[in-house]
Chains A and B, each alone.
Chain A
């Protein structure tokens, strides 16, 4: 399992890449894409939508099931990645390169884990 050290992670298997300008990219982790299997559909929010930490921001679907993507941060959707919606399989092949949502005006966050702590957390999830 791949967990890049420059990212932060939620316990619901999203990653966060902060840009340093009050914005953050959000995606799902390698562990998540592996557990979900082949992704075939992504439902993304519209720019301008308000995101709340701990609540659903998008959903991703494999052939078998639908899974919510939980937003680890509160803020406003600046952009959704239409290429992820067009080619959901890119999330499987490159989960950290295929962001789903770019947030701006961030006002709050869930407890986030470092790469090392997240890797340990996933081990325990089994």
Chain B
């Protein structure tokens, strides 16, 4: 019996998720596991050992051509000039009003070849936008359907990779990558990146090799406490690590500065789409902050935040963070009332619950 709607796609690892008893849910057009054994156990495994996630739903757009760099410089907010091959940079892609179309990672293969990794839910929108703004001798190609991606995250992730590949082939610095790495016999591109706040890697392979790669990682990782982890833990881990999620902390009505993502914008490089609007808009009136819930309750997204009876903003994400073991939220607050230590109340389904602005991230790993 096929209980999935026809418009819900499967990743190359769908069969593996069923085999591992994943609880499947539709997400960004794909059927993906929200959990296998439980969100809390999976979350803690990533913090203390290792977890593996199917993130094949992510989109990949390849930029190539002699004018690839000037196009990236125009379409994205960060500066990609002068970065070495094998380096990765976080960036936003803004509209003409300075609103965020998406947040992306840009991988530099060579001066004429870059891979841009985009959010699954924005893939078609991003590709259409990029094509409409592309100029000169440059090609953008959506290669997402041919690529599987597995995120291996956690303090033991490096030891697991070492069992499957040569030491010199593992990217040893954060936000760097190595191409043509054999991992358990599967040719991959491996980056030291992730969405959990832990040491971790993301492995990109041809879609038909996804199952072999998954099994190689799982078999190698079991002695290191590796568990498969689902979308639920992915969300609680990124929130605990203070990382924004498109559609929650930002969207096309929010600027990078309002989302406190100024590190992904270089205002001193040449012109780029949205720059004039960002200059015109100046310092943000609202800003993303972290909230630690001090009263009894769990804040969720889109709840009103008050200070002294006055509405000062809304939550954008919230949950009980399993490792730090307290309820935490991110919120967009009036910038003048966003300093750490500010005492606020959150309307949690009709009850006012106390909370305090705290610096992000809620959790950072010991290095």
A residues lining the B interface (CB < 8 Å)? 37-38, 40-41, 43, 59, 61-64, 66, 126
Contact = CB atoms under 8 A, between A and B. Distances in A.
B300 A66 contact: yes
B320 A40 contact: yes
10 contacts: A37-B38, A38-B38, A40-B322, A41-B298, A43-B297, A59-B349, A63-B232, A64-B232, A64-B319, A126-B3
B303 to A, nearest CB: 11
Contacts of A66: 298, 300, 349
Nearest to B320: A40
B144 interface: no
A61 B319 CA distance: 10
Given A61-B320, A63-B322, A38 B40 contact: yes
A115 B251 CA distance: 48
Contacts of A41: 297-298, 320, 327
Nearest to B322: A63
Interface in B286-334: 297-298, 300, 319-320, 322, 327
Interface in B22-71: 23, 34-35, 38-41, 43
B236 interface: yes
Contacts of B300: 66
Given A37-B39, A63-B232, 9 more contacts: A38-B39, A38-B40, A40-B298, A40-B320, A41-B298, A61-B298, A63-B43, A66-B300, A126-B3
Q: State the main secondary structure of chain B at its contact with A.
A: mixed
Interface of B: 3, 23, 34-35, 38-41, 43, 232, 235-236, 297-298, 300, 319-320, 322, 327, 349
A59 B348 CA distance: 12
Contacts of B39: 37-38, 62-64
B137 to A, nearest CB: 47
Contacts of B38: 37-38
A69 to B, nearest CB: 13
A37 B35 contact: yes
Contacts of B327: 41
Choose among A41, A59, A62, A126 the residue with the greatest number of B CB atoms under 10 Å from its CB.
A62
Contacts of B297: 41, 43
A64 B25 CA distance: 13
Nearest to A68: B349
Choose among B23, B35, B319, B320 the residue with the greatest number of A CB atoms under 10 Å from its CB.
B320
Contacts of A37: 23, 34-35, 38-39, 232
A60 to B, nearest CB: 11
A18 B349 CA distance: 31
B132 to A, nearest CB: 37
B153 to A, nearest CB: 17
Nearest 6 CB-CB pairings of A with B: A38-B40, A40-B320, A63-B39, A38-B38, A41-B298, A63-B319
A93 to B, nearest CB: 11
Contact of A64 (B3, B34, B41, B349): B34
A62 B322 CA distance: 11
Nearest to B235: A64
A83 B327 CA distance: 19
Contacts of A64: 34, 39, 232, 235, 319
B162 to A, nearest CB: 32
A98 B205 CA distance: 47
A62 B41 CA distance: 13
Contacts of A40: 40, 298, 320, 322
A63 B297 CA distance: 12
A92 to B, nearest CB: 8
Contacts of B232: 37, 63-64
A118 B230 CA distance: 30
Nearest to B1: A126
Contacts of B23: 37
A115 to B, nearest CB: 24
